[in-house]
């Protein structure tokens, strides 16, 4: 069963494997930074200066953030890959496979993908950690005595994070198809559920409301408290938006009808595939939220105070955020490619029903625009909710400031990522004769 699943859906597992490799690399980089700072031969004055600057905590913050992102993104991408096997799982159930056997097979698939991905990611993380530490010493952010060291727990911790999150995401996605009666599972695989989750939606609303409430409370706190608690605001908002992903996409889908008959087809497709597409909405929201938070905080500070951020500090802020954003962006593209690959049959049916290749591709472009707009709005809400308490307590302003060119650049980059993940694989799929795909 495992071999057949991997041979039938290679793209469905290549994307999660790439995401898991990047997650292992991020965790490895963070652990090595932590070991490098802790083990550096510094005199008391240098150690005190490093601690006072907050740089000494950078390794620990990087490790915690990397594990948090891995839990969120790797689980989601692996869950999307398993969810796209719903029809295969239903067929397996019809020939007598028990729910326990289906879950064991899914767990074995997840482990089989996570192990080689982690093996590939650890050396990448060592290289990234060495390069980043060289950048810190090169820019004078940390003393030259801080040299690269490998953390003793790198290998077991990296494996625990990637294998654990992969198993968790896969098993959660397999709960419903493994429990359903075979006939019901086949029906749901052919026609995905459209109703909102009875648990998912209320929990998502509760987390978003909690994040907003915490942000309001932080406006009355001092700057240090607002800065430290801002992470929990972003955590609650990102997880909440991720749980509300299918609902948000269904709310945004009707706007596609503004593009005429092509848009109507796209709106119906987004409605039907909202659960799968929401797997990409989580990392996209994270990427937009992280990038917007860091960039707007820097530009608003410079705009209000009139003092340019030192080059070393700017490099430090943007290098860390760039690593997280790149990780989330690659995960989003991988997930979108996985979703489009699972829709080859649907796209072929549109062509057999009379749709030209250009018309079919236009439908996918409309869907991509819906996903892009939803991610931009969700990411902006997350960033704004996290940012406003900090701006008010630290700078005394409620007005974020961002140059128009930066805003347009962010929108263009987000749209390019989504189009690359949806339109390019769709265009490649449409090169085949539709009857070959359906047959």
Query: Does this model's pTM top 0.85?
Result: no
Domain boundaries, the chain: 1-191, 192-438
Please write the tens of the pLDDT for every residue from 193-227.
555 567 778 888 999 999 999 988 888 888 778 77
- pLDDT, residue 50, reads 76
Instruction: Compute the C-alpha angle 311/317/320, nearest 5°.
Output: 130
Closest Cα partner for 104 from 3, 161, 178?
178
CA–CA separation, 8 vs 81, rounded Å?
12
Residue 251's pLDDT is: 93
Cα angle 88, 92, 98 (rounded to 5 degrees) comes to 135
Check residue 188 and give its pLDDT.
60
pLDDT score at 194: 56
Question: What DSSP designation does 140 have?
Answer: T
Q: Are 362 and 262 in contact (CB under 8 A)?
A: yes
Residues of the chain falling short of pLDDT 50: none
Structure tokens at 281: 């909405």
Q: What is the pLDDT of residue 371?
A: 94
Residue 135: other Cβ atoms inside 10 A: 15
Q: pLDDT value at position 420?
A: 92
């Amino acid at each position: 069963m495992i071999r057949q699943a991997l041979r039938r859906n290679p793209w469905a597992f290549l994307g999660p494997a790439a995401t898991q490799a990047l997650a292992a690399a991020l965790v490895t980089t963070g652990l090595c930074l932590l070991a490098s700072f802790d083990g550096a031969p510094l005199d008391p004055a240098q150690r005190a200066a490093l601690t006072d600057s907050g740089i000494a905590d950078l390794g620990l913050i990087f490790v915690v953030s990397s594990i948090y992102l891995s839990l969120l993104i790797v689980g989601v991408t692996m869950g999307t890959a398993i969810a796209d096997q719903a029809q295969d799982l239903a067929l397996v159930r019809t020939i007598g496979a028990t729910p326990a056997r289906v879950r064991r097979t899914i767990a074995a698939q997840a482990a089989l993908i996570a192990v080689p991905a982690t093996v590939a990611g650890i050396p990448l993380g060592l290289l990234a950690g060495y390069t980043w530490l060289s950048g810190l010493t090169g820019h004078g952010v940390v003393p030259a005595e801080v040299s690269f060291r490998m953390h003793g727990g790198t290998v077991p911790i990296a494996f625990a994070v990637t294998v654990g999150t992969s198993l968790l995401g896969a098993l959660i996605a397999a709960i419903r198809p493994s429990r359903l009666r075979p006939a019901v599972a086949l029906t749901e695989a052919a026609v995905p559920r459209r109703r909102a989750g009875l648990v998912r939606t209320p929990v998502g609303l509760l987390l978003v409301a909690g994040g907003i409430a915490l942000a309001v409370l932080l406006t009355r706190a001092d700057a240090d408290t607002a800065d430290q608690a801002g992470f929990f605001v972003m955590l609650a908002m990102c997880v909440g938006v991720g749980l509300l992903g299918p609902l948000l996409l269904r709310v945004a889908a009707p706007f596609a009808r503004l593009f005429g008959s092509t848009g109507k087809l796209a709106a119906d497709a987004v409605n039907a595939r909202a659960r799968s597409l929401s797997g990409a909405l989580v990392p996209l929201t994270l990427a937009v939220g992280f990038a917007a938070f860091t960039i707007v905080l820097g530009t608003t500070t410079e705009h209000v105070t009139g003092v340019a951020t030192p080059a070393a500090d700017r490099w430090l802020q943007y290098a860390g955020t760039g690593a997280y954003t790149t990780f989330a962006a690659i995960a989003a593209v991988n997930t979108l490619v996985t979703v489009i690959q699972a829709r080859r049959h649907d796209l072929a049916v549109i062509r057999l029903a009379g749709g030209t290749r250009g018309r079919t591709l236009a439908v996918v472009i409309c869907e991509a625009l819906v996903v892009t707009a939803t991610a931009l709005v969700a990411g902006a809400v997350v960033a704004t909710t996290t940012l406003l308490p900090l701006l008010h307590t630290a700078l005394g302003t409620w007005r974020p400031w961002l140059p128009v060119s930066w805003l347009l650049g962010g929108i263009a980059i987000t749209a390019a990522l989504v189009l690359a993940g949806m339109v390019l694989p769709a265009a490649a799929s449409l090169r085949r004769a539709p009857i070959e795909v359906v047959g």
